[in-house]
Structure 1
Amino acid sequence: MKKVIAIVGPTAVGKSALGLKLAQKFDSEIISGDSMQIYRHLDIGTAKDSPKELQEVPHHLVNICDPDQRYTVKNFQEKARQIINELNTQKKIPFVVGGTGFYLSSLINNLNLGGEMKANKEIRQRLLKIEEDEGLGRLQEILKVDDPKAFEKIDIENPRRLMRAIEVYQTTGKSIVEQENGNKWADFYLIGLTDNRPKLYERINQRVDKMVKLGLVDEAKYVFDHRDIFIQSKNAIGYKELFPYFEEKASLESCLSEIKKNSRHFAKRQFTYFRNQMDVDWYNISNDNNYQKTIEEKIEKFIGGYHG
């Protein structure tokens, strides 16, 4: 069976740094699970590895789209699975690093994402009207009643995914997260990094401050100037919070505080999802000084006598 290692956890905890070290040690390659690092020219706000780091270890699904292109969970699922198969054929165990819980869940569980079902325009228009009149909360309520399984699995903060899940269920009577088959297609070892909350929040604040020094405001202005066509990328944390500053409706300081706050909330949601929905081997980076050595030993055991 195919083998894959995934490194998960809240934002700013150090997943990318660990992924680089492990991929180098085990002579492997990295698959980014991030929905925004796919975009060219958006480097700082998406927390991409540096050009030097991207060269040190081969990275996949980074810089593969222009910012005005649409990229779906299904795109990720299909591309990542193809890369995993290719690397396993080369006797390499790929490292999937970062990303949202639903992205990883779609890959691990081979979820049927409803990609073959044509859009139901009548339902879609009705849901768009509900979102406009009653807000995101009402869509969440509808999905929770219609399809509680999907409500637990998908990103319910994303209105597009909410509407698609409701549309699939109301059109087909089946959950959007229903598995295509019961066969396990690959063996995944999930490594989770976490930290004590005060320290994690401090890491997040420091990351935002570093991004500002690297040029985050200019990059966000580029997104703001193209917001009519950068439909998905404009909603990334780190960009959208600065729009009021460019519109002269808020100070830069208040907008940066909003980025930090939203990043902290996102980190909490990430950890909750992975903890509740997936079988993760967790390591607290502050409480365990030897966590990397322990992880390496467990990877050795996981790989065993694997021959692709």
Structure 2
Amino acid sequence: MIKVVAIVGPTAVGKSALGLKLAKKLNGEIISGDSMQIYRNLDIGTAKDSPEELIKVPHHLVNICDADQRYTVKDFQSRAKTIITNLSAKNKLPLVVGGTGFYLSSLINNLNLGGKKDDNEYRQELVELENSGQIDKLQAILKDEDPLAFQQIDLENSRRLIRAIEVMRSTGKSITEQNNGQKWADFYLVGLTDERPKLYQRINDRVDKMVQMGLLDEAKYVYDNRDNLPQAKNGIGYKELFPYFEGKASLESCLEEIKKNSRHFAKRQFTYFRNQMDVDWYNISDDKNYQIDIESNILKFLGGKDD
């Protein structure tokens, strides 16, 4: 069976750095599980690896779409499965790095996500609600049609709401229960975590570094083109700066909002992976040899020998 390693955990914990190191040592290639890194010209706010890093290790599902294109979990699932299958055939280790719990769950569990992304007669209705900022109406629809998903998915993410509604309407089953029972690949999930104060400081430092790298210019591009960028305009790191561009808030307060939302997102990520998936967790502060331990356990998973 195809073997896949996935590196998960809260934002800013060091997943990308670990993925690069493992890819080099274990003859692997990286598949981004991030829903925003697929977009060209959105580099800083999405925390992409540097151009040099993207060259040193082959990356997949990075810079493959223009920012005005819609990208769904179904797109990710389909493309990632094809890439993983092709890499495995070449005796390369597929390393899925980062992303949301739902994206990874769709891949691991081979979720039935309904028909083609554009064949649902209700899609336009839902997209119009999203574009007009009526997320409360999307939430109400989901609560009425799929109470189970309403309790489990991120209710502030309009794309997740739309997909959950579509899946229920097209399959008659909750998106949280979708699993066709066919295991198509064997996954080993490496989870990175850290003590909360240290993690939060890492998040704050990352935001400050993003500003130094030019986050404001990138966010201004998103703001100026927000009517044509339905996904980017809702991304953490961009949307919080809109009040600054409109002269309604100070830069300092907007940056604090980015840090706060990033911390909340990190907490949600950790909670999801801890409760919904079988993850082998490594605390990067408690275990000074965590990278050695991870590599050893991956080799065991792959059937190799531990040196």
Q: Same fold (TM over 0.5)?
A: yes
Q: Which residue does 2:25 correspond to in 1?
A: 25
Change (3 A) 1:132 1:41: closer
Q: Which residue does 2:52 correspond to in 1?
A: 52
Change (3 A) 1:27 1:126: closer
Q: Write the deviation string for residues 148-173 of structure 1: whole angstroms up to 9, x where unpaired.
A: 44346544322233234234424653
**For 1:259 and 1:179, how far apart are their aligned partners in 2?**
33
Displacement of 1:139 in angstroms is 4.5
Q: Which residue does 1:116 correspond to in 2?
A: 116
Once the two structures are superposed, the pairs formed by residues 134-213 of structure 1 within 5 Å of their partners are 136=135, 139-140=138-139, 143-144=142-143, 146-151=145-150, 154-170=153-169, 172-179=171-178, 181-213=180-212
- The answer to whether the 8 A contact 2:126-2:162 is kept is no
AA matched with 2:149: A
Task: Using the aligned pairs only, state the percent identity.
Answer: 72
AA matched with 2:35: S
Change (3 A) 1:6 1:168: closer
- 2:175 partner SS: coil
- The answer as to 2:56 corresponding to 1:63 is no
- 2:19 partner SS: helix
Change (3 A) 1:113 1:255: same
AA matched with 1:233: A
Change (3 A) 1:22 1:126: closer
Is there any run of 5+ residues in structure 2 with no aligned partner, and where?
A: none
**For 1:126 and 1:218, how far apart are their aligned partners in 2?**
31
Displacement of 1:174 in angstroms is 2.4
- 1:166 partner SS: helix
Q: Write the deviation string for residues 55-105 of structure 1: whole angstroms up to 9, x where unpaired.
A: 111000001011111111111101100000000001112100000000000
Displacement of 1:129 in angstroms is 6.6
Q: What is the root-mean-square deviation in Å for CA atoms of aligned residues?
A: 2.4
Change (3 A) 1:57 1:111: same
- The answer as to 2:81 corresponding to 1:87 is no
Displacement of 1:5 in angstroms is 0.1
Change (3 A) 1:37 1:187: same
Q: Which residue does 1:299 correspond to in 2?
A: 298
Tell me the TM-score normalized by structure 2: 0.91
AA matched with 1:35: S
Q: Which residue does 2:227 correspond to in 1?
A: 228
- The answer to whether the 8 A contact 1:38-1:62 is kept is yes
**For 2:151 and 2:20, how far apart are their aligned partners in 1?**
31
Change (3 A) 1:171 1:37: closer
**For 1:194 and 1:43, how far apart are their aligned partners in 2?**
24
Aligned pairs, how many? 304
- The answer to whether the 8 A contact 2:114-2:171 is kept is no
AA matched with 2:239: K
- The answer to whether the 8 A contact 2:110-2:182 is kept is no
**For 2:82 and 2:297, how far apart are their aligned partners in 1?**
25
- The answer to whether the 8 A contact 1:81-1:107 is kept is yes
Change (3 A) 1:241 1:3: same
Greater shift in the superposed pair: 11-20 or 137-146: 137-146
**For 1:130 and 1:212, how far apart are their aligned partners in 2?**
28
Q: Write the deviation string for residues 28-51 of structure 1: whole angstroms up to 9, x where unpaired.
A: 100000011111111111100111
Q: Which residue does 1:281 correspond to in 2?
A: 280
Change (3 A) 1:191 1:129: closer
Change (3 A) 1:17 1:167: closer
AA matched with 1:271: F
Tell me the TM-score normalized by structure 1: 0.91
Displacement of 1:175 in angstroms is 2.5
Is there any run of 5+ residues in structure 1 with no aligned partner, and where?
A: none
Q: Write the deviation string for residues 256-298 of structure 1: whole angstroms up to 9, x where unpaired.
A: 0100000000000000000010000001101110100000100
Change (3 A) 1:7 1:247: same
Displacement of 1:131 in angstroms is 11
Q: Which residue does 1:216 correspond to in 2?
A: 215
**For 1:35 and 1:130, how far apart are their aligned partners in 2?**
17
Greater shift in the superposed pair: 108-117 or 136-145: 136-145
AA matched with 1:50: S
Q: Which residue does 2:74 correspond to in 1?
A: 74
